[in-house]
């Protein structure tokens, strides 16, 4: 394993939307050497027309809690780069806008790429980062939980939900048939049982790939202290698990087969926290 590539990217977090990716992101960002924008998406689409990659083409140049690259300049800069070069570029130029959080991010040695959509095309993502020695951390809810979060609670279109589930199943089938030592798949329900144990597990994973990372206790409280609270909307990125976050609702009959297939793969592939 190559530890000497002077990289800023410390890992990738992915999983279906509303599956816990932001919570993992916040836990990791509680580390004093790690601060990241809300989402990245740089591995989606192509670099020579990244402006067409919505919403990430816009988000990457926004300030506050996004990566804060230098407006449209970054789009021209990255067109002919390799993905390793792009991540080095992000590490050097992140947090270029003013403000408390942007300044912290600019000074931070490391960042993490949290992009839920990577789960739908993970095979392509893996090929794009070949030679970059980082962990890919996946978190997924079981079918009933993700159906509740996306369809019941947030009224996501059922056809869009079904399509995303099918893509996620395809990714899990790929992982079932191809072993990657740097991929860690966790079930959200397991992760919420013991937050301290989860934080310790994440720290160990990060240290395995970046031994020079300082040993620290990750926590939501430490992440919260990084954020400015003078303005009422400043705590937007601060998320943590609560004890009550799920109501069991009926799953339509036409989705039962997908549910069985999805859960079977998840329970087979998931790792212990």
Is residue 259 included in any domain, yes or no? Answer: no
* Residue 85: C-alpha distances to residues 39, 91, 148, 157 (Å): 19, 10, 40, 38
Is residue 51 included in any domain, yes or no? Answer: yes
pLDDT digits (tens, 9 = 90+) for 192-203: 888 899 999 999
Tell me how far apart the alpha carbons of residues 240 and 244 are, in angstroms, rounded to a whole number: 12
pLDDT digits (tens, 9 = 90+) for 118-150: 999 999 999 999 999 999 999 999 999 999 999
Q: What are phi and psi of 168, to 5 degrees?
A: -65, -40
Q: Residue 64: which region, alpha, beta or left (left: phi > 0; alpha: psi -120 to 50)? A: left
The total number of residues shown for the chain amounts to: 273
Q: How far is CA 239 from the centre of its chain?
A: 14
At 64 the three-state DSSP class reads: coil
Is residue 79 included in any domain, yes or no? Answer: yes
At 69 the three-state DSSP class reads: coil
Q: How many CB atoms lie within 10 A of CB 97?
A: 20
Is residue 249 included in any domain, yes or no? Answer: no
Q: How many domains does the chain have?
A: 1
pLDDT digits (tens, 9 = 90+) for 154-187: 899 999 999 999 999 999 999 999 999 999 999 9
- Start-to-end C-alpha separation, the chain: 23
Is residue 100 predicted with pLDDT exceeding 90?
Answer: no
* Neighbour-count burial for 198-229, b at 16+ CB within 10 Å, e otherwise: bbebbbebbeebbeebeeeebbbebbeebbee
> In which residue are the tokens 């991929």 written?
183
pTM over the 0.75 mark:
yes
pLDDT digits (tens, 9 = 90+) for 4-36: 457 899 999 999 999 999 999 999 999 999 999
Structural domain of 39: 9-142+188-240
Is residue 147 included in any domain, yes or no? Answer: no
Is residue 178 included in any domain, yes or no? Answer: no
Who contacts 112 (Cβ-Cβ below 8 Å, separation ≥6)?
9, 10, 11, 12, 13, 25, 28, 29, 34, 36
Runs of H (alpha helix) within the chain: 21-29, 56-59, 73-77, 83-93, 100-107, 122-128, 143-147, 158-177, 188-191, 195-209, 220-226, 256-269
* Neighbour-count burial for 64-78, b at 16+ CB within 10 Å, e otherwise: bbbbbbeeeebbebb
Instruction: Report helix, strand and coil shares of the chain as percent, to nearest 5.
Output: 45, 10, 45
Who contacts 187 (Cβ-Cβ below 8 Å, separation ≥6)?
139, 140, 141, 142, 266, 267, 270
Is residue 56 included in any domain, yes or no? Answer: yes
Is residue 110 included in any domain, yes or no? Answer: yes
Tell me how far apart the alpha carbons of residues 203 and 273 are, in angstroms, rounded to a whole number: 12
| Residue-level pLDDT at 49 | 93
> When comparing pLDDT for 2 and 9, which is higher?
9
Tokens describing residue 192: 């919420």
């Amino acid at each position: 394993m190559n530890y000497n590539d002077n990289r800023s990217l410390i890992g990738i977090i992915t999983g279906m939307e509303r599956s816990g990716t932001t919570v993992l992101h916040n836990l990791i960002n509680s580390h004093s050497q790690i601060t990241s924008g809300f989402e990245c998406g740089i591995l989606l689409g192509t670099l020579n027309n990244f402006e067409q990659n919505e919403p990430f083409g816009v988000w990457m140049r926004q300030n506050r809690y996004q990566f804060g690259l230098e407006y449209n300049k970054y789009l021209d800069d990255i067109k002919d780069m390799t993905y390793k070069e792009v991540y080095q570029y992000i590490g050097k130029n992140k947090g270029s806008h003013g403000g408390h959080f942007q300044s912290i991010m600019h000074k931070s040695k490391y960042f993490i790429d949290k992009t839920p959509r990577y789960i739908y095309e993970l095979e392509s993502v893996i090929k794009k980062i070949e030679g970059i020695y980082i962990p890919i951390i996946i978190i997924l809810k079981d079918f009933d939980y993700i159906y509740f979060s996306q369809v019941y609670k947030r009224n996501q279109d059922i056809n869009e939900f079904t399509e995303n589930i099918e893509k996620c199943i395809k990714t899990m089938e790929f992982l079932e048939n191809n072993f990657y030592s740097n991929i860690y798949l966790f079930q959200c329900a397991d992760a919420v049982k013991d937050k301290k144990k989860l934080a310790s597990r994440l720290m160990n994973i990060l240290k395995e790939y970046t031994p020079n990372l300082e040993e620290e206790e990750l926590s939501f409280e430490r992440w919260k202290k990084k954020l400015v609270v003078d303005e009422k909307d400043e705590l937007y990125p601060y998320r943590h698990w609560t004890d009550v976050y799920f109501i069991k609702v009926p799953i339509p009959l036409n989705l039962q087969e997908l549910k069985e297939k999805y859960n079977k793969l998840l329970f087979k592939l998931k790792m212990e926290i």
